[in-house]
Amino acid sequence: MKMRAFAKHLILMTLLFGPASAMAQGEPDWLVDKLYGSGKINTVIAVVSVILLGLFFWLYRQDRRIARMEKHGKE
């Protein structure tokens, strides 16, 4: 019984990831040529990282404020 489940999962993974690996073998696209070639990918990664860190910090502060308001309201 377990072997059938394993075979089903193996077939599913092959069908899902098979085409993706076949497409990865093609020619380099514009992203590789432009961003990686000129070194601009580092700038893109830095900007996205700053935006994500800002969002996480903002969410953390909002959570603390809401918790403080809930605690103050229960007293």
Query: Is 23 in a helix, a strand, or coil?
Result: helix
> What does the pLDDT read at residue 37?
77
Give the count of beta carbons closer than 10 Å to the beta carbon of residue 15. Answer: 9
> What does the pLDDT read at residue 54?
95
Domain locations in the chain as residue ranges: 40-75
Residue 34 neighbours by CB under 8 Å, 6+ apart: 40
Cα-only R_g, the chain: 23
Amino acid at 23: M
Average pLDDT over residues 52-64: 94
Query: Is 42 in a helix, a strand, or coil?
Result: helix
Chain mean pLDDT for the chain:
79
